[in-house]
Amino acid sequence: MDRAGQKEIVRQDVDGYLWSTPDELMERTARLAADDALRARLAAGALARAEHDSECAFAERWQAIAARHALGA
């Protein structure tokens, strides 16, 4: 949905779709069902996003911030 936290997670046409109405959801779902290349592209984008936001990647980013702070950078 094009509301609340979803806008912060889903990147329109990169790793998914945002939608506001049932008609938009139906149109986008039909488009995905009919287009193998689009489905593959969005799936690849979603996997890349999941890797970027993984627990390990999140911890590494926080460790880097903590290290910079400890060094006074």
In the block, residue with structure tokens 């998914």: 16
Q: What does the mean pLDDT of the chain come to?
A: 87
Q: What is the pLDDT of residues 55-71, one digit of tens each?
A: 887 888 889 898 888 87
Comparing 2 with 24, which gets the higher pLDDT? 24
Angle at 28 between CA 55 and CA 43, to 5 degrees: 35
Q: Where along the chain do its domains lie? A: 6-70
pTM of the model: 0.67
Contact 19, 25 (CB under 8 A): yes
Chain length of the chain: 73
Q: Residues with Cβ < 8 Å from 18, sequence gap 6 or more?
A: 1, 2, 6, 7, 10, 12
Tokens matching residue 69: 């702070």
Q: What is the pLDDT of residues 19-54, one digit of tens each?
A: 988 999 999 999 999 999 999 999 999 999 888 877
